[in-house]
Chain A
């Protein structure tokens, strides 16, 4: 079907493809820790080699009824529905920061359950809808 040259190029290509897939697989396996943008509370909980003085990011949902504001400070709980971490932060939070929504906090761990943040990012989820639909959904759930 193909010319002889094309066939030999094709076979070289297939061999290279196989080798590169294996190589890439191992590269990603070893890079996994660096690619992750934030850790969930459960990942922190299970981690054995935590460095408490390094800046890391943790993320999850803001636990309902956990936000406590006191003129400058804000304290809230990040949860992934299995484990929780208490976060304290001094400063202004983004507009979209609210209870039950995603959040990523950057800062240092004091211990496995307590985190001091110096930056708060709001994480948006994949749901898009008009306010009326959201209201209707909430009404039907109650």
Chain B
């Protein structure tokens, strides 16, 4: 499976694989949305606004995950100069960016009925906004710098600096007093979300993960194709 991601193998990615993924995406999203919007119960104090969580939490996890990968991969790009990793990070960035935006917007929609305000400058919300800014900076570096080597270097530096922000986002709610609540899910303790809410959350997460995979695979393939084409042009 992992070998498929190598630049020469990705070109054999055909619409069959994508169609299968889209099929699963539709199934997960339909079940997930029905479960989270209709079947799952309202919360004991938040009421129906708890349903925003089923989009908010997966988006946040995916946007954090994408940037963690971009940041760590950037270290490898700068040290070992492995070109195809840049194609991966480059095609991951828009996905993470859009999910960071979704996370902030849905969080704000949830904040108004729950906290009483759309936005506060607490550590979690501010660091999440900084992540979005890093994503935008990363994407625009690739967009506006035409020289591949230069864009690669500058974007990798942005990726590594942005990597510092990731643990800050993750642990902001534990290290400092924040208005945002601490995580309900952790590796070391039982989830503090009732299972009738945890199941739709898991289904929605898988659905959104498959969506990200589809966008990533097609984007990555296009990046590799573009590169091969430009190489061919240079030869002629």
Q: Which of A89-142 contact B (CB under 8 A)?
A: 93-98, 101, 104, 120-134
On whether the beta carbons of B184 and A131 are closer than 8 Å, the reply is: no
Docked CA distance A75–B219 (Å): 57
Quick one: given A37-B179, A39-B177, A121-B115, are A126 and B184 in contact (CB under 8 Å)? Answer: yes
Say yes or no: B44 contacts A96, CB within 8 Å. Answer: no
Identify whether the interface residues of B are mostly helix, strand, loop, or mixed. Answer: loop
Q: Are A94 and B120 in contact (CB under 8 A)?
A: no
CB distance from B151 to the nearest CB of A (A): 19
Determine if A6 and B80 form an interchain contact, defined as CB atoms under 8 angstroms apart: yes
Quick check: is B8 within 8 A (CB to CB) of the other chain? no
- Chain A residues with a Cβ closer than 8 Å to the other chain, count: 38
Name the distance in Å between B114's Cβ and chain A's nearest Cβ: 5
A24 at interface by CB-CB < 8 Å: yes
Q: In the complex, what's the smallest C-beta–C-beta distance from A106 to chain B, in angstroms?
A: 9
Distance between A120 CB and nearest chain B CB, rounded to angstroms: 7
Range for the number of chain B residues in contact with chain A = 35 or more
A98 to B196, CA, bound (A): 25
B120 contacts across to A, CB distance below 8 A: 37, 121
User: B215 to chain A: closest CB distance in Å?
Assistant: 29
Which of these, A35, A104, A133, contacts B44 with CB under 8 Å? A133
Given A10-B79, A96-B45, A130-B42 in contact, is the A40-B115 Cβ separation under 8 Å? no
The residue on B at minimum CB distance from A20 is: B164
The CA of A36 and the CA of B120, in the complex, are separated in Å by 12
5 contacts between A and B (CB under 8 A): A37-B122, A123-B115, A127-B192, A129-B194, A132-B41
Query: Which residues of A, 1-53, contact B by the 8 Å Cβ criterion?
Result: 2, 6, 9-10, 13, 20, 24, 32, 35-40
Q: How far is the CB of A42 from chain B (nearest CB, A)?
A: 11
**Given A37-B120, A104-B179, A123-B179, CB of A131 within 8 Å of CB of B192:** no
Scoring A9, A10, A130, A134 by chain B CB atoms within 10 A of each residue's CB, the highest score goes to A130
A56–B183 Cα distance when bound, in Å, is: 25
With the chains together, A133 CA to B195 CA distance in Å?
Answer: 11
